[in-house]
């Protein structure tokens, strides 16, 4: 059987990988050691042409299906890993067949939930990760994706302006439909609740959670958080026709949650005394799209919200409210954002994303001003942050030493 590589773009370097060797036996010099979690499949992180790719060994039909599903989800602008290629037709030197491999691009600055909890060291870390997973579940359900295996293990997490953002990394059980029924959505929630409870029990047994934390009680929070978000995004609202301003209020509320409203269904009763509104087209990523339009920056949703707020403050401080918005944004980028991110020494730039560093500098400036009881400039804040705070942060981008714990297995897709 001939080796076949189906790739999203020309990638000649893929042919150099040892496809005739079972994935778990790949030589260390071809691999990158990254934080590991739990997976039902063998996964390795390979260095390919200056990039790090996650390689998952699975049956060819499953690999091809997941490759196509991930591409569809990316086209729908959902937060998930990028599918790079599927390699089929693998054979060992003795001619015996080997499973196919799915390759995805490693998501920089992301970590599995175990590594995130162990590095965060905050008692509410597990709850915050579950909140992020609930947001991700709402996003995928809005476009009609039934996940089928929702869990902390099947997502990766990145810091997002002090919170977490979740990214889907395993789509092999998922189905994409025009719309999900309430029963399908609740099925996904039941799967999530059971899986998360088991994952938290495992963490608790390993001493990674407070002893007084009830894994079942905490796992139930994904149901509460999901329903809260879903109602805010999809519920029909009735009000008096004289309160038409509430239409704009509903749109602003959805924007604050990070969702953009493409269409509203607005109806009135026969005598025109009452109105009802229901969002028809809701898309995630309102703040990140707006920031990208103004500055070209690609950042997380919460990071974008924080940067946009700083841009508003900059506009007011320069009395430029009547100037062209894009011109002001370019000046903010050149005089505020870029000088701060460039102030980080090269050896520390792998610790956090630039946008997360900028967010932390703003936080640090606020605390410094409060402590010193006078306004601290952003230049003073970044100097103090780089000297005293950033060196204490774990490195979340660069390759770290491999984890040799026997019970811990690989995670990415």
144 band by pLDDT with thresholds 50, 70 and 90:
very high
**Quick check: is 404 in a domain?**
no
DSSP state of 395: P
Please state, in angstroms and rounded to a whole number, the distance separating the CA atoms of residues 166 and 179. 22
Task: State the pLDDT at residue 121.
Answer: 59
Say whether both 227 and 121 belong to one domain. yes
Looking at 78, 105, 132, the residue that finishes a domain is: 105
Say whether both 385 and 310 belong to one domain. yes
Say whether both 244 and 339 belong to one domain. no
Pick the closest to residue 19 from 112, 89, 74 (CA basis).
89
Pick the closest to residue 79 from 87, 88, 90, 70 (CA basis).
70
Task: State the pLDDT at residue 338.
Answer: 96
Say whether both 210 and 149 belong to one domain. yes
Say whether both 51 and 24 belong to one domain. yes
Task: State the pLDDT at residue 148.
Answer: 95
Task: State the pLDDT at residue 39.
Answer: 64
Query: How does pLDDT run across 382-413, given as a tens digit for each residue?
Result: 999 999 999 988 777 654 333 333 333 333 44
**Quick check: is 70 in a domain?**
yes
Contact of 411 with 46, CB cutoff 8 Å: no
**Quick check: is 133 in a domain?**
yes
Query: How does pLDDT run across 56-78, given as a tens digit for each residue?
Result: 999 999 999 999 999 999 999 99
* Overall average pLDDT of the 82-90 stretch: 95
Say whether both 224 and 241 belong to one domain. no
Query: How does pLDDT run across 352-369, given as a tens digit for each residue?
Result: 999 999 999 999 999 999
Looking up residue 23, the CATH number of its domain turns out to be 3.30.200
Q: Tell me whether strands 4-7 and 145-146 are parallel, antiparallel or unpaired.
A: unpaired
CB-count exposure of residue 24 (10 Å: 0-12, 13-18, 19+): exposed
Which position has the higher pLDDT, 271 or 137?
137
pLDDT at 124 over 90: no
Dihedral-angle region of residue 162 (phi above 0 means left; psi in -120 to 50 means alpha; beta otherwise) = left
**Quick check: is 407 in a domain?**
no
Say whether both 12 and 91 belong to one domain. yes
Task: State the pLDDT at residue 37.
Answer: 54
For 165-179, letters b (16+ CB in 10 Å) and e give: bbbbbbbbbbebeee
* Overall average pLDDT of the 168-190 stretch: 95
Say whether both 221 and 117 belong to one domain. yes
245 band by pLDDT with thresholds 50, 70 and 90:
confident
Task: State the pLDDT at residue 35.
Answer: 58
Query: How does pLDDT run across 302-357, given as a tens digit for each residue?
Result: 999 999 999 999 999 999 999 999 999 999 999 999 999 999 999 998 899 999 99
Task: State the pLDDT at residue 66.
Answer: 96
How is the beta sheet containing 100-105 ordered, strand by strand? 4-7, 83-88, 100-105, 51-58, 42-48
* Overall average pLDDT of the 177-199 stretch: 96
Say whether both 144 and 223 belong to one domain. yes
Q: Compute how many other C-beta atoms are within 10 angstroms of the C-beta atom of residue 349.
A: 17
Q: What percent of the chain has pLDDT over 70?
A: 93
* Overall average pLDDT of the 250-266 stretch: 85
Looking up residue 166, the CATH number of its domain turns out to be 1.10.510
38 band by pLDDT with thresholds 50, 70 and 90:
low
pTM to 2 decimal places: 0.84
Task: State the pLDDT at residue 98.
Answer: 95
* Overall average pLDDT of the 181-203 stretch: 95
**Quick check: is 23 in a domain?**
yes
Looking at 105, 133, 149, the residue that finishes a domain is: 105
pLDDT at 281 over 80: no
* Overall average pLDDT of the 166-189 stretch: 95
Q: Compute how many other C-beta atoms are within 10 angstroms of the C-beta atom of residue 366.
A: 12
**Quick check: is 400 in a domain?**
no
Say whether both 89 and 65 belong to one domain. yes
Say whether both 263 and 301 belong to one domain. no
**Quick check: is 170 in a domain?**
yes
Helix (H) or strand (E) holding 246: helix 245-256
Secondary structure (DSSP) of 253-301: HHHHTTEEEEEEEEEE-TTSSEEEEEEEEEEE-HHHHHHHHHH-----H
Q: Which domain holds residue 302?
A: 293-392
SS3 3: coil
Which position has the higher pLDDT, 312 or 241?
312
Which position has the higher pLDDT, 270 or 285?
285
Work out how many domains the chain is built from and give that number: 4
**Quick check: is 384 in a domain?**
yes
Those residues whose C-beta lies under 8 Å from the C-beta of residue 171, and which sit 6 or more positions away, are 66, 69, 70, 73, 80, 147, 413
Say whether both 31 and 88 belong to one domain. yes
């Amino acid at each position: 059987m001939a080796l076949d590589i189906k790739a999203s773009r020309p990638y000649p370097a893929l042919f150099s990988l040892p496809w005739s060797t079972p994935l778990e036996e790949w030589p260390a010099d071809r691999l990158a050691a990254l934080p590991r979690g739990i997976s039902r499949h063998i996964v390795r992180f390979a260095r390919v042409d200056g990039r790090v790719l996650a390689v998952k060994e699975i049956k060819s039909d499953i690999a091809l299906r997941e490759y196509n599903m991930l591409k569809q989800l990316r086209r729908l602008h959902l937060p998930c890993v990028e599918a790079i290629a599927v390699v089929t037709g693998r054979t060992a030197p003795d001619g015996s067949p080997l499973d196919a491999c799915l390759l995805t691009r490693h998501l920089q600055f992301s970590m599995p939930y175990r590594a995130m909890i162990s590095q965060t060291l905050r008692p509410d870390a597990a709850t915050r990760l579950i909140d992020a997973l609930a947001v991700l579940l709402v996003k995928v359900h809005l476009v009609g994706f039934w996940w089928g295996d929702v869990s902390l293990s099947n997502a990766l997490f990145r810091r997002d302006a002090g919170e977490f953002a979740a990214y889907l990394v395993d789509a092999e059980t998922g189905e994409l439909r025009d719309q999900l029924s309430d029963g399908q959505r609740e099925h996904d929630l039941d799967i999530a609740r059971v899986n998360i409870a088991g994952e938290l029990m495992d963490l608790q047994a390993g001493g990674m959670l407070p002893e007084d934390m009830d894994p079942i009680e905490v796992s139930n929070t994904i149901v509460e958080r999901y329903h809260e978000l879903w109602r805010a995004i999809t519920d029909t609202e009735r009000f008096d026709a004289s309160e038409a301003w509430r239409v704009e209020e509903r749109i602003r509320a959805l924007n604050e949650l990070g969702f953009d409203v493409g269409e509203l269904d607005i109806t009135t009763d026969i005598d025109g005394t009452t109105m009802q509104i229901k969002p028809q087209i809701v898309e995630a990523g309102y703040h990140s799209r707006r920031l990208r339009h103004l500055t070209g920056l690609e950042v997380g949703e919460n990071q974008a919200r924080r940067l946009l707020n700083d841009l508003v403050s900059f506009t007011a401080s320069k009395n430029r409210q009547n100037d062209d918005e894009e011109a002001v944004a370019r000046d903010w980028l050149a005089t505020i954002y870029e000088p701060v991110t460039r102030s980080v020494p090269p050896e520390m730039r792998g610790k956090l994303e630039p946008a997360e560093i900028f967010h932390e500098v703003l936080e640090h400036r606020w605390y410094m001003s409060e402590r010193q009881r006078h306004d601290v400039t952003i230049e003073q804040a970044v100097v103090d942050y780089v000297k005293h705070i950033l060196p204490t942060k774990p490195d979340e981008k660069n390759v770290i030493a491999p984890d040799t714990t026997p019970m811990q297995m690989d995670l990415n897709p």
